[in-house]
Amino acid sequence: MFSSRVPRHLQPNAFSTSLEQARSAGRDLIDLTVSNPTRTGITYPEGLFAALSSPEVASYRPEPFGLRRAREAVAADYARRHVSTSWDRIVLTASTSEAYSILFKLLCAPGGDRVLVPAPSYPLFDHLTALDGVGAVQYALQYDGRWWVDFDSVDDSWDDTIRAVLAVSPNNPTGSVLTGDERRAFIERCASRDAALIEDEVFADYPLEGNGAAAASAAPPPCLTFRLGGLSKSAALPQVKLGWIAVDGPPALVREALDRLELICDTYLSVSTPVQIGAPDLIAGGAGPRTQVQERVRGNYSALKALAAGFPSVDVLRADGGWSAVVRVAARGSEEEIALTLLNRDAVVVFPGFFFDFPREAFLVMSLLPEPPRFREGVRRVLERVDG
C-alpha cells in the first residue's frame, strides 16, 4: 500500500547540483536557507554546558523513558507554555526525528499501514516514513490570506490503513498554526476512526503573527495524542540532541501505549546520560538563546514584509509562527530556474517551493534565522531579481 510518487525534491534536479558545486567551490553566498542557530550568531550563556561534565555522568542507569528529573524538567517546560502534562507521561528521545520513528513503530505495521502528512511541509516525512516501512498520504494546506487545513482532502485520503495524522503547528515552512477548531476536527476524526494524532510543536515558542498556537483543552482528548518537542528549537540547542514525546488521551489507551513504548524505548536506550543529567540546566538556560531567536525571526520577518511592500509582484504569505517565510513571486520561469538564477547571478540561496511540495508555482522559501544585515541584503537581491 505504498505510493509510487517520488517527491520532486528527491528527484535529480539542477538546483541541488549547482548549490553543491557552489558550496564546494567556496563561493561567498548569502544563505537564506540556514536553519542551524549555532551558525547564525546566536550566543549561549557561560556555563550552560557545565552539567554535561558533571561527575554524575560517569554512572549509567538505563531508564527506558529517561531519568525522572529530566522528564520533570520537560513537564515543567510544558507548564511554561500553559500545556498540562505530567512527568510520567514524558518519553525522552534523541531527537524529534527519532520520536517519529518510535511512534511509527508503536502505531503502524510496516508494509501496509499509513499516516496522513500535511503538504506543503518539510520533506523529512518522506524519509522517516520510508525508513520505517510506513506509507505517507498527503492532505492539503490551503492559503487565502491565511493557511487552513483542507478537511475535504483529509477525508478523501482516509481509509482503513490510516493509523495516525501528523499535524505540524507551527508548520515548516508555511508557518501555519492549527486553530482550536482545526485541532478539534482532527481529534474527532482520530477518535472515531481508531487513529492517533501526532502534534509536532517544535516551533511553538516562535509566534510571528497573532498569539501563536491555540490553547489545548484541559480535558484528555478522546484519542491518543502525542506532542513532540525538543531542545533543538525550544532552546536553540540542536547540538545536544534531546527530544521528547508527551502522551495524552483516554487513560486506558495511554496506559497501553506507555506499556508498548517502554519495550520500544528499552530496546534502543538512545538518549545519552550526560544530556539527561544536564536537561534541567539546559532547559532553564535555553531561555536566553530562545529569546535571541525570537527577536531575530520576528525582526527579519518584519523586515521582509517592509522590503517586499515596494515590489507589487511579490507577496509575503502570512506566517503565524516558526523560522521560515514563504514568498510568492511572478512565475516568469519555473521555481528551479528562479532559484538557479538567484544562486548563479546574485549569490543568494533560497529554497524553491517544490522542495516542500507546494502544488503550483512560483514560491520561494527563506529562513528567518540569518543575521539581520545579511538577511536584508539577501532579500534585497531576491526582490530586485524576481520583480525585474
Residue span(s) of the chain under CATH 3.40.640.10 come to: 51-285
Q: Rounded mean pLDDT of the chain? A: 94
pLDDT given at position 219: 81
Residue type, 125: F
pLDDT given at position 387: 87
Q: pLDDT-derived band of residue 332, with 50, 70 and 90 as boundaries?
A: confident
Assess contact for 363 and 386: CB atoms under 8 A: no
Q: How many CB atoms lie within 10 A of CB 313?
A: 13
Query: What's the rounded mean pLDDT across residues 91-112?
Result: 97
Identify the CATH number of the domain defined by range 51-285.
3.40.640.10
Reference 91, options 261, 255, 234, 232; nearest CA is 261
Contacts of 9 (CB under 8 A, 6+ apart): 16, 123, 354, 355, 356, 357
Query: What's the rounded mean pLDDT across residues 279-307?
Result: 98
pLDDT of 29 strictly over 90: yes
Residue 43 buriedness (CB in 10 A; 0-12 / 13-18 / 19+): exposed
pLDDT of 9 strictly over 60: no
Query: What's the rounded mean pLDDT across residues 6-11?
Result: 54
The partner residues of 46 in beta bridges, in order of sequence, read none
3-state secondary structure of 169: coil
pLDDT of 337 strictly over 50: yes
pLDDT of 4 strictly over 50: no
Q: pLDDT-derived band of residue 217, with 50, 70 and 90 as boundaries?
A: low
3-state secondary structure of 274: helix
pLDDT digit string (tens) for 145-166?
999 999 999 999 999 999 999 9
d(CA 172, CA 369): 13
pLDDT of 248 strictly over 70: yes
Q: pLDDT-derived band of residue 291, with 50, 70 and 90 as boundaries?
A: very high
Query: What's the rounded mean pLDDT across residues 97-104?
Result: 98
Assess contact for 297 and 368: CB atoms under 8 A: yes
Query: What's the rounded mean pLDDT across residues 169-183?
Result: 97
pLDDT of 185 strictly over 50: yes
State the fold for domain 8-43+288-386.
Answer: Aspartate Aminotransferase, domain 1 (3.90.1150)
Q: How many CB atoms lie within 10 A of CB 334?
A: 14
Residue span(s) of the chain under CATH 3.90.1150.10 come to: 8-43+288-386
Assess contact for 216 and 243: CB atoms under 8 A: no
d(CA 329, CA 190): 37
Residue holding cell 558533571?
54
pLDDT of 213 strictly over 70: no
Residues composing the chain: 388
pLDDT given at position 3: 42
C-alpha grid cell, residue 114:
499509513
pLDDT of 329 strictly over 70: yes
Q: Within 13 Å of residue 373, how many CA atoms lie on the same side as its CB?
A: 1
pLDDT digit string (tens) for 352-364?
999 999 999 999 9
Residue 245 buriedness (CB in 10 A; 0-12 / 13-18 / 19+): buried
Describe the chain by its helix, strand, coil percentages, rounded to 5. Answer: 45, 15, 40
